[in-house]
Structure 1
Amino acid sequence: MKVDVYVPLVLAALLMVAGPAVSRLLAPAYAARALVITVGVTAATSTWALLLLGGTLLDDAPPVVAEAQERRVHIPDPVPAVIAVLALAAIAVGAWRVAGVVRKHRATGRMLRRLRAGHATDGELIVVASTVPQAFALPGTAGAPGRIVVTSAMLAGLDATERRVLLAHERAHLRYRHARFQVVADLAAAVNPLLVPLRETVAFLLERWADEAAAAEGAGRASTARAVARAALLAHRAPAPYRSFHLSQLAITQRIAALQAEPLPQARLLAVAVLASALLPAIGAADATTDFVHSLGRALML
């Protein structure tokens, strides 16, 4: 347990470095899927590793200590008590961060439901009369399909081809359920701060995935690049509180450059390799769990 329990934590740090490189080598649809699964597994296993570290404090429980003293048996500490306490503190901080992410997503969901209720429509498009240029995909729920929300200002600032690209881009977000990908990345980053850069990488890949889907739908890569640039320029001119995250905060220039270059390869073997890396922290956590159970069993059988 002294080594295996740290494997998920070490691999989370390595993933933080390797994740952006994967986004530059692999087609966005494959890269996004591989990274989301990997960060989800890494977040879960690193949390479990922290629980195991914190659980070693059970050896210091008064009944166990008293029994050991009575039998004159020395119980070795699997890890220093300081590390166990820090692990429990990290779990508490992670739980607090996860609660914040859940509250944020619930608040966003309530706002989107009110928007949906205020613009009842049978079509996929909801046009909001607003001077703020915005466009986003409204994820579907169990009782309602997804919708594309676009303001009148955004539509007025684009020509016919650019509007088709914009709608195709947002339609791709709905078709491939990108909102779920982002929720997983957000929760993983909340659980393990080492995965925060991967949250941003996933968000970027989802936008690139939608760009490629829009280009493949018939607009072409050059037209899609122009539409992305134009929509980003319009969104950037909006007042700061209203700027769309995916149109202003992410690397727009990188998205445009990617559309102007040849498509990245699917490289399925690379995607499989990324997914296989998620097995390593799982194996480490499983081995550490076995050691922990044996250690706990010895302590309880004094």
Structure 2
Amino acid sequence: MLDHFAWSVVAVPLIVLLAARLLGDRLRPDTAARVFAWTALVAAGAAAVNLLAFAVTAVAEIPVVARTFDWSRAVVAAGTAPVPEVSWLALGWVVVAAGAVVHVVRRRRRALRGARREAALLPAGEDVVLVPDPGADAFALPGKPGRIVVTTGMRKLLDERQYSALLAHERAHLAGDHHVLVWLGELAAAVHPLLRPVARRVGFLVERAADESAVRELGDRRQVAVAIGTAALATTEPARPGARLMALGSSPGVVPDRVRALLRPGRAARWQAVVPVVLAATTVLWTGECLLDLVQLLELARLR
């Protein structure tokens, strides 16, 4: 079982992290965001199952549990004999990760409820709503239908083409369900610390994907870069519940990288997306073997 732990809990998340850093700029942003969001989630899920399997072996060594299920503690301990501490480390990790996942899920539910409440207060039949507010802000409210909220303070900052670029950017967030991809990254990061930079990368990539969508609609990279830069730098700290759904990746700190990518576009490849997909597939297969090994170990412990 230790080889499965080494691959699925240690190696794969690390390789996914490296792949996100090395390949994130070589893929189309929309493709990269989806690939790395789902790969991170699969890698985190596989790591969680492997950790849970080792946590079970730790619990199985507890005398009262071993007597209850008629397991031999010696046989169970022999399954992780080379590194016995791994099972207890896994048990602690599972407890902490479970708490982190619950926190992420509850936070998202609160944000969605807030977004629905705010959407209910907006005028019906309008996909873009201008709200009287001197602060500069603009964000997408997911839903059926999705809405775009722009403050009057933000509108005054932008000319017509820049405003069109802003709306195209926010529409791309809605069309691509980018808030879901960001949430998948957050779930993965809650399970495994190595995937936290990947989650931040996904947040950046969905912003890049929305930027490129605006470019395709307007046909002017410079105008989009100016609009996105102006809007992002002027945006006040999001206080509305809906804004928090797409807050990750839109902070002023990443604006220079987004503008640079808009003004100096590189050649986008697709085949390199196979790398993280293959990693996800291998870790799922190894996780299946890990569960099979666990079942066989517990059956052997009961026979003794």
TM-score (norm 2): 0.89
Task: Identify the range of structure 1 (214-223 vs 148-157) with the bigger mean alpha-carbon deviation.
Answer: 214-223
Give runs of aligned pairs for residues 139-218 of structure 1, distance below 5 A. Answer: 139-140=142-143, 144-218=144-218
* Partners of 2:76 and 2:297 within 8 A in 1: no
Residue type of the partner of 1:173?
H
Which residue pairs with 1:19 in the alignment? Answer: 20
**Alpha-carbon distance in structure 2 between the residues aligned to 1:43 and 1:100:** 16
In the other structure, the counterpart of 2:251 is 248
* Structure-2 change in CA distance of 1:74 and 1:92 (3 Å): closer
**Following superposition of structure 1 onto structure 2, how do residues 52-91 of structure 1 map, counting pairs within 5 Å?**
52-57=53-58, 59-62=60-63, 64=66, 76-79=77-80, 80-91=83-94
- 1:240 offset after TM fit, Å? 8.3
Structure 1 distance, partners of 2:278, 2:7, is 15
Quick one: structure 1 residues 8 and 102, their matched pair in 2 at CA, closer, same or farther if it must change by over 3 Å? same
Rounded Cα–Cα distance in structure 1 between residues aligned with 2:231 and 2:71: 70
CA displacement 1:81-100 (0-9 Å, x = unmatched): 43212211111111111111
Q: Is the 8 A contact 1:138 1:148 kept in 2?
A: yes
> Partner amino acid for 1:278?
A
Relative distance call for 1:78 and 1:24 in structure 2 (3 A) is: same
Paired position in structure 1 for 2:260: 257
Q: Which moved more, 1:51-60 or 1:276-285?
A: 51-60
Residue 119 of structure 1 pairs with residue 149 of structure 2: no
Q: Which amino acid aligns with 2:132?
A: A
Residues 44-97 of structure 1 deviation map (CA, whole Å, 9 limit, x = unaligned): 00000101111113552437479788xxx8665222443212211111111111
**4+ residue stretches of structure 1 with deviation over 3 A?**
61-69, 73-76, 238-247
SS at match of 2:150: strand
Distance change in 2, residues 1:240/1:149 (3 Å) = closer
CA distance in 2 between partners of 1:240 and 1:136 (Å): 9
Alpha-carbon distance change, 30 to 245 in structure 1, aligned in 2, over 3 angstroms: closer
Q: Distance in 1 between matches of 2:71 and 2:113?
A: 55
Q: Cα distance, 1:286 vs. partner? A: 1.5
Secondary structure of the 1:137 match is strand
> Per-residue deviation at 1:116?
0.9
1:219: Cα distance to partner? 3.9
* Pick aligned residue for 1:282 from 272, 281, 284: 284
**Cα distance in 2 between the residues matched to 1:239 and 1:107:** 18
Which residue is 1:106 aligned to?
109
Match of 1:297 in 2: 299
- Residue 94 of structure 1: aligned partner: 97
2: CA distance, partners of 1:102 / 1:68: 36
Q: Match for residue 133 of structure 2?
A: 130
* C-alpha distance in 1 between matches for 2:37 and 2:237: 32
Residues 246 and 130 of structure 1: CA distance in aligned 2, closer, same or farther (over 3 Å): farther
- Name the SS for the 1:251 alignment partner: helix
What's 1:40 paired with? 41
Separation (CA, whole Å) in 2 of partners of 1:248 and 1:152: 20
Counterpart secondary structure, 2:229: helix
Cα root mean square deviation, aligned: 2.4
Aligned pair count? 294
CA contact (8 A) 2:30 2:209 kept: yes
| Cα contact 1:27–1:263 (8 A) shared by 2 | no
Mapped to 1, the partners of 2:97 and 2:216 lie a distance apart of 40
1:6 deviates by: 2.4
CA gap 1:75/1:112 in 2 versus in 1, 3 angstroms = closer
Matched position secondary structure for 2:46: helix
Q: How does the TM-score come out when normalised to structure 1?
A: 0.90
